[in-house]
Structures are given as C-alpha cells and as structure tokens.
Amino acid sequence: MKKISFSYRERLHLQKDFNRIFKKGLKLENKTIKIFAKKRDSGHLRRLGLVTSGKLGGAPLRNRTKRRLREVFRTNKHLLEPGLDLIFVSKPETVKADYSALEQAILDLLKNAGLLEIKS
C-alpha cells in the first residue's frame, strides 16, 4: 500500500500565493466551509492552505479543526486535479460538523465545481 502523506511541498506558505488565490481564484461556499481554488500553470502537486479565525474558539478547538481539514485533504488529494491550489476557510459550522459530514461537504463543493478527477 502506498503511503499517503502531507508533505512540506504540499502546503501553501507564501503570502503572495494566498493573495493570488484569494484575488483570482474560484470561490466555493456552503454553510460548513468556504474554499478558494486556483489552478497553477505548472506543476503537478496539489497544495493546501488553511485559514482559521480566532472567532471560532480557543486554540485547542482551532487546532483540532485544522487537523481535520488537513486529514480531509490528505486522504482525498489523489482525487483532485493536478496543479490545484486550495485554501480552506473555516466557519463556525466547520467546528461543529463531524469528520464525515465535513469531508462530504468539501468533496461535494469540489465535485460541483468540476475540480475532482473522477476515475471511472
């Protein structure tokens, strides 16, 4: 079985990358989460950035939410188009949702936007 990891190279680090995605990216939203997506011209890696406001609660709650969002990305990144940059922006409902509901909400948004590679 192949190891599915979430490497350093799969994370968004630079503020200019976040700004580019916020400004020029596709905005997807439902009651659970907000997602910004932008396809890069080069590269095959799918990358993820997270935004979690202090308004959601204390540090343990925010950290748990970020861990869950990273896990959704890690376990489903093989379904995403290559060269896709994503930013997950947490909402109050993100904190309240259980893992399976959160995963389903994210996958539904990405599928409806045509950002998943569906292998038949």
User: What is the reported pLDDT for 75?
Assistant: 94
Query: For residue range 39-68, what is the model confidence (pLDDT) as tens digits?
Result: 998 888 999 999 999 999 999 999 999 999
Query: For residue range 14-48, what is the model confidence (pLDDT) as tens digits?
Result: 999 999 999 999 999 999 999 999 999 888 899 99
* Contact yes or no for 110/33 (Cβ under 8 A): no
Task: List the strands of the sheet with 26-29, edge to edge.
Answer: 26-29, 33-39, 84-90, 47-51
User: What is the reported pLDDT for 76?
Assistant: 94
Query: What DSSP letter does each residue of 61-105 carry, written as one string?
Result: HHHHHHHHHHHHHHHHGGGBPTTEEEEEEE-HHHHHS-HHHHHHH
Q: 46: closest CA among 4, 2, 94, 109?
A: 4
Span 27-112 CATH architecture: 2-Layer Sandwich (3.30)
User: What is the reported pLDDT for 119?
Assistant: 61
